[in-house]
A and B are shown apart, each in its own frame.
Chain A
């Protein structure tokens, strides 16, 4: 940033877990339902209602913890965190405080060609709040509790990120991991992923942390970098002028592109945490941990390394294939179906990455393998392959069936091809003369003519050979 100062950043990221029911009750956890239609007595905090924890939320949280190499506590605990707000029906949030589910762990961040393990402090379980809807200029606010009680995990990093770029990359990797592990859609705009940043600056070379400001409400992916960069600049300006940074919470305003202090005596918080007496300690046995561990898919970094090492894929291809687990899984499945090993990897990768939305593709991996084989064996040309792919994508039909039905097999009958080539030469005497006069590039023109006459089915290599032979011999005989 400004030379003298090194930014130190820690992120607190909330991830909504994609369970079917809520964290502490059986109310449906549907998104986009009509207001207040996903509520039961627990969600509404009706008098006498009690929480019962969702096993699905625990298992999703464990997936991320294990994927990050966190230590899973054998006994963790739910606590109540108190504050009054209309979207918080009980007047407290059930969260975890001094005994979180996961301690430590790392997230691998690659930046500028080098990889670094960013240290996590903890991952804990909690519940989401509802939504307050503020009528612009209105005299009242409206409350929808559909989201209240949806399970969340909070992933807290150590102050172990040293630039806005690194923080943004960390968010990208974390989002990818959450999607990869089927934890969450990870869509920041939908609030499935939310990011608060603790930012401080220290003199370059110093090891002590400076005073930090907590930046909240970074509610879109594209603001992560910008908001943190802005905060770094704000603090640098203060320090450059000999001032001191105040420890405070600041709210990011994405419209104005600035942050506002939330400091006010009126709003001073005291969350009054204490262990939730309605929820006994959460014990997680080794059997549960091992079962979840066994169900984990191969993680993106491991897969990229395997593809590069064993298949010789380029770093770029590996990265693109690993950007989404559906794509990665399709690649591996197609490769297995093909059976050809490393040699088939590149063409399979090309076909899969060639699609507009590879993650949403409807082409079955077995069909990808089949198509690659058809091209490999010369049964169809690469060009024809593209047509076949389009049809596969539209109909789901197998490529062999498409090729047969449409008669797309390449023509390699030399007699038939020779006749077509002769016709093409006879129809274009001027071009033939030019070719003979020393314009060899015109061979492409003739290949095109022959392909036209054969409906694109001619084997272009063979056509090329025949044309060259005819154009030279014909000329000699004349």
Chain B
């Protein structure tokens, strides 16, 4: 392969490290160099843990020297969205209210422990919309992230740092979180693969909660094979998460080579929406043609309640968020605002008023409203009932098809500042991605081409619960039949003086 090291797939990097063709420390140094050169243009990282990464890389090399197995991700540089708790390493959730918080050394997310056990080298923490609330990464309390394909555009959100870092080769893969589309939408806007697993498939222990009944951790990667490798490493039952599904971690090698023949793919009529970019529609149509040529069949299906995804989501998610964010109170960790002499309630209100950004406050307000007594039945409970109908729609559709296909995002990456004035317009960017988390289903975004301006477009596939294998199977078949994955962001965007 003529690819530079930083664009090699994680599968290839792990192979080279395990074969001792490349040391983990060499790979880490190349990665840190790449971050040092390119990140000033992107702002993807909030923290680079060079020391910790070096210890992990050295441990991998030592294990290999002893002929021990360092794991399937040996030496592979991975970065984490900064809602994933890393013991001894700052974790901010992109919020001022957590600025400076360093979790106890003994407290790390289960997914962090699993990546380490698999031999991955965790290079740092990635920028995001504050508390994972947003679709453009402009809600980071620290700085926005720029899209490596066009620095004037957003990378999507909330896992914007993860998508940008992976797309620009700042790490071989990343973990993000997806609540209403926060892995898939930025993956689409940055031209990478993003997988949101089935709810309960990947442990949430140690993942800063946004909306507990929706949140899932998943991989962002440059290839479908890399996404599968990361997913295998992090999936599986965890006794520390009461919502973790008691299923063994899936084995996916098979799925990646089975091809698309015989797969039944449905296109929901209700999601042929007027606001979708023509270029996006064209790319998705072309992708489904490719899959048809590969032996899949494409039919229409119905998701009758698709029009209610957005209102259901924007009641359930903020309600749970308003509850999950009550712990940020200036007492045990994080910041406190106001003078030493103040009432308790003033301390709370000032700390939370100053510590949270505008979008987080908006959602806390919305969620608090929806849970108030007297409003609960008409808002929160009603939304959960509609959610049950949305899940039933999917169940019925999956009686007829194996996968549901839509665009991931109605538009390619939009300009920084373009949608910040109107929250509802911003919320509409997740119109295709909210269904899967509401129904608890796995979904993936796969690069499916580019607009004439050179902006990536993503194809979203949704599958039955626990059927990530079929998602990855279709995505892998499509990826092999096309060459979108060979394109990388223009290198001139990432050279010279940084501007992010």
Contacts and interface: CB of A to CB of B under 8 A. Distances in A.
Chains A and B in contact, CB within 8 Å:
yes
Contacts of B101: 47
B332 A272 contact: no
B292 interface: no
Nearest to A47: B208
Contacts, number: 104
Interface stretch (A108-116, A277-285, A350-358, A359-367): A277-285
Interface in B324-367: 325-327, 329, 331-333, 341, 344-345, 348
A274 B242 contact: no
B206 interface: yes
Contacts of B40: none
A274 B84 CA distance: 26
B204 A50 contact: yes
Contacts of A47: 83, 85, 91, 93, 98, 101, 103, 208-209, 327
Please provide the 4 A-B residue pairs with the shortest distance between their CB atoms, ordered closest to farther. Answer: A91-B326, A277-B213, A272-B371, A277-B212
Interface string B101-117: 10110010100000000
5 contacts: A45-B327, A47-B209, A86-B329, A139-B341, A277-B211
B348 A51 contact: no
Interface in B358-393: 368, 371-373, 376, 380
A75 interface: no
Interface of A: 41, 44-53, 80, 82, 84, 86, 89-92, 139, 141, 143, 145, 266, 270-274, 277-280
A66 B204 CA distance: 35
Contacts of A280: 242-243
A203 to B, nearest CB: 31
Interface in B203-222: 204-209, 211-213
A84 B212 contact: no
Chain B interface, >50% SS class: loop
A220 B30 CA distance: 68
A48 to B, nearest CB: 4
A86 B373 contact: no
Nearest to B319: A274
B331 A86 contact: yes
Nearest to B372: A270
A84 B326 contact: yes
A261 B103 CA distance: 42
A80 B85 CA distance: 23
Interface string B208-247: 1101110000000000000000000000000111110000
Contacts of A271: 373
Given A84-B348, A278-B212, A278-B242, 15 more contacts: A44-B332, A46-B332, A47-B85, A47-B93, A47-B98, A48-B109, A48-B205, A50-B242, A53-B242, A80-B323, A82-B371, A91-B325, A274-B371, A277-B212, A277-B243
B435 to A, nearest CB: 18
B320 interface: yes
A50 B373 contact: no
A274 B240 contact: no
Contacts of A46: 85, 103-104, 107, 332-333
A52 B212 contact: no
A112 B322 CA distance: 53
Contact of A48 (B206, B322, B323): B206
Contact of B373 (A52, A266, A270, A277): A270
A35 to B, nearest CB: 13
Interface string B185-218: 0000000000000000000111111011100000
Given A139-B341, A278-B243, A272 B205 contact: no
B368 A48 contact: no
Contact of A274 (B91, B207, B323, B331): B323
Interface of B: 83-85, 91, 93, 98, 101, 103-104, 107, 109, 204-209, 211-213, 239-243, 319-320, 322-323, 325-327, 329, 331-333, 341, 344-345, 348, 368, 371-373, 376, 380
A406 to B, nearest CB: 60
B269 to A, nearest CB: 31
A317 B69 CA distance: 72
A91 B323 contact: yes
Nearest to A42: B240
Contacts of A48: 83-85, 109, 204-209
Nearest to A84: B348
Contacts of B368: 272
Contacts of B91: 47
Contacts of B84: 48
A143 B331 CA distance: 9
B318 to A, nearest CB: 12
A279 B242 CA distance: 6
Nearest to B215: A277
Contacts of B83: 47-48
Contacts of A278: 209, 212, 242-243
Contacts of A53: 242
B205 A50 contact: yes
B369 to A, nearest CB: 10
B323 A41 contact: no
Contacts of A52: 239-242
A66 B344 CA distance: 42
Nearest to A39: B332
Nearest to A269: B373
Nearest to B107: A41
Contacts of B211: 277
Contacts of A272: 322-323, 368, 371-373, 376
Contacts of A86: 329, 331, 344
Contacts of B348: 84
Which of A91, A92, A145: most chain B Cβ within 10 A? A91
A280 B204 CA distance: 14
B320 A277 contact: yes
A49 B341 CA distance: 31
A252 B5 CA distance: 72
A45 B320 contact: no
Nearest to B331: A86
Contacts of A92: 323, 326
A110 B322 CA distance: 48
Given A48-B207, A278-B212, A41 B93 contact: no
Contacts of B85: 46-48
Contact of A90 (B205, B207, B326): B326
Nearest to A278: B212
Contacts of B107: 41, 46
A333 B14 CA distance: 69
A89 B327 contact: yes
Contacts of A145: 332
A399 to B, nearest CB: 53
A270 B372 CA distance: 7
A45 B326 CA distance: 10
B376 A274 contact: yes
A90 B332 CA distance: 10
A274 B320 CA distance: 9
Contacts of B341: 139
Given A44-B332, A270-B373, A274-B319, A51 B327 contact: no
Contacts of B93: 47
Nearest to A52: B242
A342 B39 CA distance: 89
A47 B83 CA distance: 9
A375 B241 CA distance: 63
